[in-house]
A = this chain, B = another copy of it.
Amino acid sequence: MEFVVRQIGIIHSPFRTKEEAPVQGALSPEAEGTVEVFADYAMALKDIETFTHLYLLYRFDRAGEIILARPTFLDDAPHGVFASRHPCRPNGIGLSVVRLIRRDENNLLVGGIDVLDGTPLLDIKPYIPRFDCRPEAGEGWLAGLKSRPKPPGRE
């Protein structure tokens, strides 16, 4: 089974390069960006301003080669790409949680952004804590690992 996915908007952010982008948006809550939804889809935004947090689905359009298990930003040991948030993955779809600061027609000002400037937007879903917040979840292999400077050349 395969199907075609089409861009529905564009994400504008302060991050021009992989080196500049944070590992995850939760680690850079002050970073602001704009999610521009193409005018054809404006009606799909009705009532989005009632939410405080959103999921963004987007295309990792500058990802490199797909290797199924590899080291990550946070750990030098290799982990499977389905056990990490690494951008070089089958289907190349990214997922981020952002804060919705303000809606201005079909532009959404968001905080805690972690994606590269110009990233193609694929979908927006409301973050609904009764469905999506799981404080009981474990940290997996990330347990005890602290944020660190990105190792050079690593995605």
Chain A interface (Cβ within 8 Å of chain B)? 1-8, 24-27, 37, 41, 43-48, 50-53, 55, 57, 59, 61, 68-69, 78-85, 89-93, 95, 97, 120, 122-142
Contacts and interface: CB of A to CB of B under 8 A. Distances in A.
Nearest to A114: B131
9 contacts: A46-B80, A47-B79, A50-B140, A51-B141, A82-B123, A83-B126, A90-B123, A130-B139, A130-B142
Nearest to A142: B128
Given A129-B135, A134-B97, A134-B129, A83 B47 contact: yes
A61 B5 CA distance: 13
A142 to B, nearest CB: 6
A129 to B, nearest CB: 5
A41 B90 contact: yes
Given A57-B95, A128-B140, A140-B128, A51 B83 contact: yes
Contacts of A24: 128, 130-131
B122 A83 contact: no
A45 B83 contact: yes
Nearest to A136: B52
A132 B129 contact: no
A133 B68 CA distance: 26
A95 to B, nearest CB: 6
Given A132-B132, A133-B133, A82 B50 contact: no
